[in-house]
C-alpha cells in the first residue's frame, strides 16, 4: 500500500507544477493526444484557452518574486475552481497558462474565458489597493487540422489581445485552406 502511494506521489510530482498545482508541460504532451483522439472519435468540439498574466515582469519588479509567485498560485487556484472536472489546466510556461475544454465549442469557450478573466481581475493578488492583476486570453477551437496549428492560432489571438489593450478575450479564427 505504501509503495502504491509513493508511486502515485512520484507520478503526480512529475506531471504537476509545484507552484500552481496545475499540470505541467510534460503532462500536456501526455494528455493532448488522448484528448484530441477522444474529440475526433466522438465528433465533439475541443477548445483551447491560452492566457497570460498582463505586465507580469512589472509585478515581479515592483513587488518582488514572492508576490509574483502568489499571483501564479492564485491564478492556478482560479483555473482549478472555475473550470469543470473534465477540463484540463496547465502551466504552459512562465506566466502563461493553457486550459483544454473538451466537448466545448468556441462560443462556450468564450464564456468560460471571460469568466476566468473577470475572476482574475477581481481577485486581490497584489498588496497595493490601487493595482490589480489582469490577464489576456486567446481562444480557439480545434478544427480539421494538426493540434499545433490550433495552439498557434490561440497564441496569435493571445498576442492580439495583448496588442489591443490587454485584459480581454480574443478568438483565433480558423482559415480553411482551399
Active site amino acids: 95
Beta strands in the chain (DSSP E): 46-53, 88-93, 96-102, 135-141, 169-171
Distance CA 52, CA 40 (A): 28
Q: Is 98 helix (H, G, I), strand (E, B) or coil?
A: strand
Q: Residue-wise over 88-125: b if at least 16 C-beta within 10 A, else e?
A: bbbbbeebbbbbbbbebebeebbebbeebbebbeeeeb
Amino acid at each position: 500500500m505504501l509503495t502504491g502511494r509513493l508511486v502515485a506521489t512520484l507520478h503526480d510530482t512529475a506531471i504537476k507544477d509545484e507552484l500552481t498545482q496545475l499540470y505541467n508541460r510534460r503532462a500536456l504532451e501526455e494528455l493532448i493526444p488522448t484528448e484530441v483522439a477522444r474529440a475526433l472519435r466522438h465528433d465533439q468540439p475541443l477548445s483551447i484557452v491560452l492566457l497570460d498574466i498582463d505586465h507580469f515582469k512589472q509585478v515581479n519588479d515592483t513587488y518582488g518574486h514572492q508576490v509574483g509567485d502568489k499571483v501564479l498560485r492564485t491564478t492556478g487556484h482560479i483555473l482549478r475552481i472555475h473550470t469543470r472536472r473534465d477540463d484540463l489546466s496547465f502551466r504552459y510556461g512562465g506566466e502563461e497558462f493553457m486550459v483544454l475544454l473538451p466537448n466545448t465549442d468556441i462560443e462556450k469557450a468564450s464564456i468560460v474565458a471571460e469568466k476566468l478573466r473577470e475572476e482574475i481581475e477581481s481577485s486581490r493578488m497584489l498588496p497595493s489597493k490601487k493595482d490589480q492583476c489582469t490577464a489576456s486570453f486567446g481562444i480557439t477551437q480545434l478544427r480539421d487540422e494538426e493540434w499545433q496549428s490550433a495552439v498557434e492560432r490561440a497564441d496569435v489571438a493571445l498576442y492580439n489581445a495583448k496588442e489591443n489593450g490587454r485584459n480581454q478575450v480574443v478568438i483565433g479564427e480558423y482559415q480553411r485552406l482551399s
